[in-house]
Amino acid sequence: MKYTLYREGNFYKGTLHAHTNRSDGRISPQETIERYMKNGFSFLGISDHMVYGYYPEAEDENFLSIPAAELHTHEKGVAHHLLALGEPEHTGFSYGTLDPALNKLDVQSLIDLIVEKNNLAIYCHPHWSRVGIGRLCELENLTGMEIYNHECEMGWRSGKAEVFFDHLLWHGRRIWCLGSDDTHSKDYTFCGGYITVKTPDFSHRGILKAIADGSFYASSAREGQPAPRIFDFICGDGMAKLWCDPSRDVYFYFSTSTDPAKWSYSYKCIHAKENDPVSYAEQEIPEGTKYVKVTIEDFSGNTSWCQPIWLED
């Protein structure tokens, strides 16, 4: 049986991309954290621009501050933005303002530096950044990319990036997808983009390891609404199986190639009526499938993306 959500553990909701008045947000880190805690978030990465932030004073047994920053570099009209996410005990970055010389590195060197410093590197808002899909597919060492960025979507209508994610998968890139808020403190930019991590270890290390392993799913939601939850997604005995909150649409996608020059896939969509929503779906896996992807949407348009399950090692 194949899966990405761990067999053991509990689910924790969080977002890893948020700004405060330490860069171009309007409210303080403490006020930002309080807002997320009130909304039931269990972890938050305050990722101010070129400021590596960690806020242990806000932590308790139900809430973790994940050390984070958003780093930038430019390349021919493209603004590459990357999240660096680390463990307090093992990160190679010092807290506070980062060296502006990092902005001069080319994007691959910046990703490699983030990884060398024991951090996960996440590619932010590719649509907003104006990166070409081909260029994104060349990048190595990324743990994930934002399939949904709430600030970019609400402010600029450029936060949805499913097409970028699909291209990465078509090229055989093993990368995970994340939802992020990227709030800059405006009311409409809170709690619309997030991830839900499953781990038996609610610690910085446990959360980051689960993200590296793909034990989480990504969500986009209208403010104040929850996206549909995913309870499990597994592939075994020739079937792909999904358990989720009652939903309107379930999309299975089976890719039988990781050669982008080869057109080879199949799909199955299930569209339910409001009085008979889907909370379990299964589908036969076609012969030769390389990976399976599932996305669900509820009756209000809130979406959750399972991580792809790769069927070959």
Residues that bind Zn ion (CB under 5 A): 70, 81, 124, 182
Nearer to Zn ion, 100 or 287 (CB): 100
Quick check: 291 and 3 in contact, CB under 8 A? Answer: no
Nearer to Zn ion, 122 or 306 (CB): 122
DSSP state of 50: T
CA dist 192 and 117 (Å) reads 30
Minimum CB distance to Zn ion, residue 222 (Å): 20
Question: Concatenated DSSP letters for 193-204?
Answer: EEEEEEES--SH
Nearer to Zn ion, 25 or 206 (CB): 25
Q: How far is CA 140 from the centre of its chain?
A: 17
Minimum CB distance to Zn ion, residue 131 (Å): 12
Minimum CB distance to Zn ion, residue 6 (Å): 29
Nearer to Zn ion, 155 or 277 (CB): 155
Nearer to Zn ion, 70 or 87 (CB): 70
Minimum CB distance to Zn ion, residue 148 (Å): 13
Kindly provide the residue ranges of all beta strands, DSSP E only, lying in 50-207, ordered along the sequence: 51-52, 64-65, 68-75, 78-85, 96-97, 120-123, 144-149, 176-180, 193-199
CA dist 243 and 270 (Å) reads 14
Q: How far is CA 242 from the centre of its chain?
A: 19
Minimum CB distance to Zn ion, residue 151 (Å): 7
